[in-house]
Amino acid sequence: MDEHCRKALQCLAANAAGSHTSGSCKIENGDATEVELLDSYSRAVITVVETVGPAVLMVSRRKAGNGNASEQEGAGSGVVIAPDGYILTNDHVVQGAEALSVTMQDGTTHKAELVGTDPATDLAVIRASGSNLPYAVLGDSSKLKAGQLVIAIGNPFGFNSTVSTGVVSALGRALRSREGRLIENIIQHTAPLNPGNSGGPLVDSRGRVVGINTAIIAIAQGIGFSVPAATANWVISEILVHGRVRRSFLGLAGQQRQLIRRLARWHNLDNNFGVEVVGLNENGPSARAGMKKGDIIVSIGGIKTETVDDLHRTLSDRAVGEPINLVILRGPESMVLNITPVEAVP
């Protein structure tokens, strides 16, 4: 054995014994804190994935094919929210499905049926045929902070149980749903998402689902969006109790209209804009209360109203059938109409 081999073996033996020769690439005590932090981060992610991962599944949507055959049209993700098979996912994942199935982390497949959808928030509830399924817990999304660690679990491009991490980059964002309604309090985060992640959970470091991943910006990197758990909780309860999401309906069509500044000052209004009524349902609540085309709504329920989104936002916080006051401008006059909204018909 030559001298170089002998020294190499001595070095390996010393390393194995815990002692190190000079020149070794070793983490010194001063660097240990940073490494420990990284280890803590890794442990947090691993713990969350091991805990929540079994509750995350692939949702497959099928449509009728030629003859009696069927073909897979698309797939997304979902998360089990109750042991008897209730699953939360995106509306666009299950939209138009003639048959649904879900594939668990262990590869088992269950048939699933649609329980209810809410296109306005891009959420849907389906139910798998299995029982005693592992399930995740919905957390309190209102307590999220910008910069907080979040973990996305899903099935991008059909790759099961894919994990990505990031931070909450902004809160209170708003996105348009496919039907044009504004989805409020969207969570913006940096956990990488890809097609197939839709419907999968966004999880905090304690394993609580704080959002449902719903959208990405194709031309951007590191920008993902999730519907908050608070919204999901409300949608789930509406679907399970009533079989649908109930929303109040005024029976009018409106558009934003700039106010004449002199008229706004005359009536002590803080508005720069109002909502002009451009259409009325003949037998709707607004028409019955005396609303006319050309009226301009400037407040609803005591809240300044400048856009149609403001109307939707205020109505979404009130129960169907609860009377509400609308302040309108009709020509130079201001008046108050008391309207009792009815349930919107899908």
Of 287, 298, 292, 302, the C-alpha closest to 341 is: 287
| CA dihedral (265, 267, 271, 274) positive or negative | negative
Give the integer Cα–Cα distance in Å for 189 and 171. 9
Give the integer Cα–Cα distance in Å for 220 and 317. 33
- Candidate list 91, 118, 122, 204, residue with the active-site label: 122
Cβ count within 10 A of residue 304 = 16
Q: What are phi and psi of 264, to 5 degrees?
A: -65, -40
Please name every residue paired with 328 in a beta bridge, in sequence order, or none if there are none.
297, 335
Give the integer Cα–Cα distance in Å for 128 and 283. 41
Tokens (6 digits) for 82: 């109750």
Give the integer Cα–Cα distance in Å for 187 and 101. 28
CA atoms within 13 A on the CB side of 336: 8
Active site residue 122: yes
| CA dihedral (190, 194, 195, 199) positive or negative | negative
Give, for 111, the enclosing helix (H) or strand (E).
strand 109-118
Q: What are phi and psi of 333, to 5 degrees?
A: -95, 150
- Candidate list 92, 164, 248, 310, residue with the active-site label: 92
Active site residue 198: yes
- Candidate list 141, 164, 198, 299, residue with the active-site label: 198
For the chain, the first-to-last Cα distance in angstroms comes to: 85
Tokens (6 digits) for 284: 């709707």
318 DSSP assignment: S
The set of catalytic residues is 92, 122, 198
